[in-house]
Chains A and B, each alone.
Chain A
Amino acid sequence: MITLKNIEKVYQTKTIETVALHNVNLHIPKGEFVSVMGPSGCGKSTLLNIMGLLDEPTNGIVEIDGKPISRYRDNELAHIRNQKIGFVFQSYHLINDLSVLDNVELPLLYRSGTSAAETRHMALTALEKVGLSARTKHYPTQLSGGQRQRVAIARALIGQPEIILADEPTGNLDSVMGEEIMNILLNLNRQDGTTIVMVTHDENMAQKTERLIRFFDGQQVSDAKTNAYDFQQV
């Protein structure tokens, strides 16, 4: 699905040079649920941005479905993001002036050939999946943090992406709400086969995924199947 080869990311500011990622090699196969852990500032978000084609590595190759993306132009990258990738952020990133339904529909706005009725139907289905069918007319500010994140997940999955990149999706939520979000993601992965890469600071959450990659100072320090994976395999 996604392959990173010798990825290097250096942030160059006037005074300092920060190496955010160094020599990262990763392969995420289709259908896997991977969690990424590591201390603050170790490059997790940077990694997700590069995987999600929002940022370019300083060096190295990113391949989506076996094709290196360096050849693509901006609008082609946008197209791939739209078709294949769904994003979930720690701070939700909902547009407050749009209703829940309109927020969820956003990705389809950038996809030609979907009728308004179809879009509506898909948005309602996505909201149903995250258990928010009753809140479609609400505005983000009228929702709890957990509900907002569910809207964001509905938005990520409306376009039926093959991969969801989640950057600390439960980071702003208490454990009960975090649990809910985690269950939604687990369901997505198991039922729909969606590939998920999730950054988390929560060891328990990470242990529920199949594979756990640990980062330190921009480098992978471990990459292993979790107990959950073993459990699943049995």
Chain B
Amino acid sequence: MIRHLFKLIWNRKKSNFLLISEIFFCFLVLFAVLSLVVYNVRNYSKPLGFEYDNVWLLTSRADIDSTELRIAVEQQLAQKIRSYGEVEGTALVSSNSPFAFSQMKVWAQVEGGPRILVENIDVEDTFAEVLQLNVSAGRWFTKQDDAARYESVVINRVLQQELFGAESAVGKLITRNDSSQVQIIGVVDHYRGSSEYSEESPVLFTRINQQKVAVFWGEMLIRVKPGTGIAFEERMVKDLSGIAKNWTLELTTVEKMRQTKEKLSLVPMIAMAVVCGFLIFNVALGLFGVLWYNISRRNGEIGLRRALGASANQVYRQFIGEVLVLATFGLVLGVAFAVQFPLLQVFEVESIVYFIALGIAVGLIYLLAIGCAFYPSRQAAAIHPALALHEE
């Protein structure tokens, strides 16, 4: 029977061409949207490497020229904040703090190796504690790094693998931005600070050492005790405004920053899904219409098959089967096209993402085809054989 259906569809390929190409395009769009969704969902399910609950971000800006003065005020603010019982710790950080819209790229290179573009984040020693990073090799920054011969840095495992592969990175020297030699003292498990929906990229933590280079950072992460609420927030902002008069102080939670970033990732996905949904609805209508039309055109054939010994159920199965075969033709073309993405590595995305998307898209197309064929096929099976033969 399956052979018969393939033969039938193949011999009717001209009249089925439109349907097959509709299925083909529908599959490609589904594949594209699903690839994006699978990519995002997979990233989302991976560890961030830090805990952002109960972490706030204080941004301070001042209209003062003197850097020393600004640093001094920043120190006072930090001291004041740490003095509250509700606060567990603070850490100065460069503007590319978790979920911020800011990046700072530097080149990292092992002698003789390739240059790798990495995210450089300047952090205070307390940063690992405030964000609860997990150091899996070596150690995090401490006071003893003040006296180190080379500037100490900590990297994430992604960077370790890119620089050294399976080898340990701890103690190794790398060149930063083609100029300074820095020494890796530790490796953190993960750090995926840009967005929950993006892949983990290589990260280099540089130690903030105000004794050596005095910089006004303007961004401070604050870990508060669980359950600390708005009342404390208001009180603290009021106290801080008293210290930093005429400064602009902004206090937000890292959670809020995460939400903003999330919207940015979800909006295009939702928009695409809506467009895709409309398209699929259209294709479904087309499919349904053509199937419906085909069946009324094929009354004589249906009557004949019944006369030759097909039961109503066999006619039903034949029509469902035909649609599945049609879908298969469209899918074979579509899959042949879609597998080029993982094969040619068009984008830097793991192949598995494409294969999952491909599998889901194939399944959805078959479901769609069966869904559209269901009712017309039932109608075909219900056609009275004598009537159908009579009409021809």
A contact set with B: CB distance below 8 Å: 45, 49, 52, 54-55, 74-75, 77-79, 81-83, 87, 89, 91, 93, 95, 97-98, 102, 106-107, 109-111, 116, 155, 159
User: When the two chains form their complex, are residues A107 and B308 in contact, meaning their CB atoms are under 8 A apart?
Assistant: yes
User: When the two chains form their complex, are residues A79 and B309 in contact, meaning their CB atoms are under 8 A apart?
Assistant: yes
User: When the two chains form their complex, are residues A98 and B308 in contact, meaning their CB atoms are under 8 A apart?
Assistant: no
Chain A contacts for B147, CB-based, 8 A: none
Chain A contacts for B12, CB-based, 8 A: 97
- A159 and B304 CA atoms in complex are apart in Å by 15
Known contacts: A54-B389, A93-B392, A95-B301. The answer to whether A78 contacts B311 by CB under 8 A is: yes
Q: How many of B's residues come within 8 Å of A, CB to CB?
A: 27
User: Please, which residue of chain B has its CB at the minimum distance from the CB of A94?
Assistant: B304
Chain A contacts for B300, CB-based, 8 A: 93
Contact residues of B between 303 and 324, Cβ < 8 Å to A:
303-314
B315 → A minimal CB distance (Å)? 9
B interface, by DSSP: helix, strand, loop or mixed? helix
Q: Which of A55, A78, A95, A98 contacts B309 (CB 8 A)?
A: A78
Bitwise interface map of B from 366 to 392 toward A, beta carbon under 8 Å scored 1, else 0: 000000000000000000111001101
User: Please, which residue of chain A has its CB at the minimum distance from the CB of B298?
Assistant: A95
Chain B contacts for A74, CB-based, 8 A: 311-313
Q: Could you show 17 A-B contacts with beta carbons less than 8 Å apart?
A: A45-B390, A49-B389, A54-B385, A55-B385, A55-B386, A74-B312, A78-B309, A78-B310, A79-B311, A87-B307, A93-B300, A93-B303, A93-B307, A97-B8, A97-B11, A102-B4, A111-B309
User: Please, which residue of chain A has its CB at the minimum distance from the CB of B318?
Assistant: A109
User: When the two chains form their complex, are residues B306 and A54 in contact, meaning their CB atoms are under 8 A apart?
Assistant: yes
User: When the two chains form their complex, are residues B11 and A93 in contact, meaning their CB atoms are under 8 A apart?
Assistant: no
Asked if B139 lies at the interface with its beta carbon under 8 angstroms from chain A, I say no
Known contacts: A98-B8, A110-B314. The answer to whether A93 contacts B389 by CB under 8 A is: yes
Q: Which of A55, A93, A116 contacts B304 (CB 8 A)?
A: A93
Asked if B1 lies at the interface with its beta carbon under 8 angstroms from chain A, I say yes
- A74 and B315 CA atoms in complex are apart in Å by 12
Q: Which of A45, A77, A87, A102 contacts B308 (CB 8 A)?
A: A87
User: When the two chains form their complex, are residues B389 and A110 in contact, meaning their CB atoms are under 8 A apart?
Assistant: no
User: Please, which residue of chain A has its CB at the minimum distance from the CB of B310?
Assistant: A110
Chain A contacts for B386, CB-based, 8 A: 49, 54-55
- A83 and B202 CA atoms in complex are apart in Å by 73
- A109 and B159 CA atoms in complex are apart in Å by 63
Asked if B225 lies at the interface with its beta carbon under 8 angstroms from chain A, I say no
Chain B contacts for A111, CB-based, 8 A: 309
Question: Most chain-B CB neighbours within 10 Å: which of A97, A102, A111?
Answer: A97
Asked if B263 lies at the interface with its beta carbon under 8 angstroms from chain A, I say no
10 tightest A-B contacts by CB?
A82-B309, A78-B311, A75-B311, A55-B386, A110-B309, A97-B11, A49-B386, A54-B386, A107-B308, A93-B304
Asked if B80 lies at the interface with its beta carbon under 8 angstroms from chain A, I say no
- A75 and B314 CA atoms in complex are apart in Å by 9
B260 → A minimal CB distance (Å)? 59
Known contacts: A93-B300, A98-B8. The answer to whether A106 contacts B308 by CB under 8 A is: yes
User: When the two chains form their complex, are residues B309 and A107 in contact, meaning their CB atoms are under 8 A apart?
Assistant: yes
Chain A contacts for B105, CB-based, 8 A: none
Bitwise interface map of B from 281 to 307 toward A, beta carbon under 8 Å scored 1, else 0: 000000000000000000011011111
Given contact pairs A91-B392, A110-B305, enumerate 8 new A-B contacts (beta carbons under 8 Å).
A55-B386, A74-B311, A78-B309, A78-B312, A78-B314, A89-B389, A111-B309, A116-B3
Asked if B42 lies at the interface with its beta carbon under 8 angstroms from chain A, I say no
B274 → A minimal CB distance (Å)? 39
Chain A contacts for B313, CB-based, 8 A: 74-75
Chain B contacts for A159, CB-based, 8 A: 309
Chain B contacts for A109, CB-based, 8 A: 1, 4
Chain A contacts for B306, CB-based, 8 A: 54, 78, 81
Chain A contacts for B4, CB-based, 8 A: 102, 109
- A95 and B309 CA atoms in complex are apart in Å by 15
B75 → A minimal CB distance (Å)? 86
User: Please, which residue of chain A has its CB at the minimum distance from the CB of B309?
Assistant: A82
- A110 and B307 CA atoms in complex are apart in Å by 11
- A98 and B4 CA atoms in complex are apart in Å by 9
B79 → A minimal CB distance (Å)? 87
User: Please, which residue of chain B has its CB at the minimum distance from the CB of A80?
Assistant: B309
User: When the two chains form their complex, are residues A83 and B312 in contact, meaning their CB atoms are under 8 A apart?
Assistant: no
- A54 and B305 CA atoms in complex are apart in Å by 11
Asked if B46 lies at the interface with its beta carbon under 8 angstroms from chain A, I say no
Chain A contacts for B390, CB-based, 8 A: 45
Asked if B256 lies at the interface with its beta carbon under 8 angstroms from chain A, I say no
User: When the two chains form their complex, are residues B308 and A82 in contact, meaning their CB atoms are under 8 A apart?
Assistant: yes
Chain A contacts for B11, CB-based, 8 A: 97-98
Chain A contacts for B304, CB-based, 8 A: 93, 95, 106
- A110 and B1 CA atoms in complex are apart in Å by 8
A233 → B minimal CB distance (Å)? 34
Chain B contacts for A106, CB-based, 8 A: 304-305, 308
Chain B contacts for A87, CB-based, 8 A: 307-308
User: When the two chains form their complex, are residues A98 and B7 in contact, meaning their CB atoms are under 8 A apart?
Assistant: yes
B163 → A minimal CB distance (Å)? 62
